[in-house]
Amino acid sequence: LADSAGQVAKGDKSHGGDFSYVGIDAILEQMRRKAMKQGFELNIMVVGQSGLGKSTLMNTLFKSKVSRNKSVQTDPEERIPKTVEIKSISHDIEEKGVRMKLTVVDTPGFGDQINNENCWQPIMKFINDQYEAYLQEEINIERKKRIPDSRVHCCIYFIPPTGHCLRPLDVEFMSRLSKVVNIVPVIAKADTLTLEERDSFKQTIREELRANGIDVYPQKEFDEDAEDRMINDKIREMIPFAVVGSDQEYQVNGKRILGRKTKWGTIEDITGSIHYETYRVRRLNESNPHLISQPPNHLDANGVAPQHAALSREM
């Protein structure tokens, strides 16, 4: 403690460069400055059928073209995606001096087939692959100072605004994936529902999530104390979030704003503490002598076939 406080005092402007200052608050300041300098990594995955507004919402949230639609046309046969693709696009964004490396992982093709039975598989595989990559870095003897983090911190699942109920595909995807990643279910294009329809749809979905044992973000494990619990309960009441995205800018009271208003909740990171830990414990407990060299295929109880995922990375 004395050591880190001492380090802070050296460059700490808030105490007028007074090197003799030692206080616990100095640690907070040091952490803040370190975090600001390093920046944050946020990896968001969007899942849902084509046309539900995934790309638009990402652009709305981050006020720039963070998500692009591939407009490359290939031969007619390839125009219909045979399986789910996984595409990552990374951006360095900065807001009020805080740097963030944002990666949006898009999953075009999900739910677009006539038979969508296994389209959760490549997504599950991708998420587990990122945990595995992180684990391999972590158990390396020559550990990197900062492990590149490609783990999916949050998976936004787009529910079509039907106003009826969840489809079997929605239930299957969220049941399976909520065990490995933070799922944030959203009602896509919520502006197409009336307020009454929206509220009753939300309620139906909440009941269905409960009935199917689907544990979405924020999970119970996140309620560390009464205060957390209160905040999380407020978020839980709003689930699924009704979202509206827009690429259009409008002038309102002399301010430029993006068209449709977005209702949005806070997303905090428990990927590292819960989902990754679960993965890590399970992997390390296997005490598999081939741990270092072997791909994780054998651990996947869900029978994920690796060839399903086509990963392309654009930096």
Look at the alpha carbons of 281, 273, 95, 184 in this order and tell me if their dihedral is positive or negative. positive
Identify what 137 binds: Mg ion, ligand GDP, none; CB under 5 to 8 Å per kind.
none
Q: Compare residues 166 and 244 and give the one whose CB is closer to ligand GDP.
A: 244
Q: Compare residues 50 and 140 and give the one whose CB is closer to ligand GDP.
A: 50
Q: Compare residues 244 and 270 and give the one whose CB is closer to ligand GDP.
A: 244
Least CB distance from residue 160 to ligand GDP, whole Å? 10
Least CB distance from residue 191 to ligand GDP, whole Å? 5
Q: Compare residues 54 and 151 and give the one whose CB is closer to Mg ion.
A: 54
Angle between helices 121-138 and 276-285 (to 10 degrees): 70
Rounded CA-CA distance 229/272 in Å is: 19
Rounded CA-CA distance 208/25 in Å is: 46
Least CB distance from residue 60 to ligand GDP, whole Å? 8
Identify what 52 binds: Mg ion, ligand GDP, none; CB under 5 to 8 Å per kind.
ligand GDP
Annotate each residue in 49-78 with x if it binds Mg ion (CB under 5 A) or - if it does not, as one string.
-----xx-----------------------
Q: Compare residues 19 and 250 and give the one whose CB is closer to ligand GDP.
A: 250
* Residues in contact with 85: Cβ distance below 8 Å, sequence separation at least 6, in sequence order: 107, 108, 109, 310, 312
Rounded CA-CA distance 95/46 in Å is: 22
Positions in the binding site for ligand GDP (CB under 6 A): 50-56, 69, 189, 191-192, 244-245, 260
* Residues in contact with 127: Cβ distance below 8 Å, sequence separation at least 6, in sequence order: 45, 151, 152, 155, 177, 180, 181
Rounded CA-CA distance 83/85 in Å is: 6
Give the binding site for Mg ion (CB under 5 A). 54-55
